[in-house]
Amino acid sequence: MPAILNAANESAVKLFLEDKIKFNEIPRIINRIMNLHKPYKGDIFAYIQAEDWARKMVQQLV
């Protein structure tokens, strides 16, 4: 979940800085992504895939 939180936050903040979303939408987006993710154990490659997934999901939400 920390990888998902970090990736979703980075992506949402980037969208805010690009004036594509409002500041108050950042927590809503992060919350939505974290609720969609189903945690699982894995190696570093699983965490990288999870971050990629979170970034793609943020883009799909916007």
pLDDT digits 0-9 by tens, 4-59: 999 999 999 999 999 999 999 999 999 999 999 998 888 999 999 999 999 999 99
- Indicate the pTM of the whole model: 0.89
Question: Token pair 């154990």 is at which residue?
Answer: 41
- Residue ranges covered by each domain of the chain: 2-61
Angle subtended by helix axes 2-17 and 44-61, to nearest 10:
40
Helices (H), ranges, 1-62: 2-17, 26-36, 44-61
Tokens of 41: 């154990």
Q: Which overall architecture, per CATH, does domain 2-61 show?
A: Orthogonal Bundle (1.10)
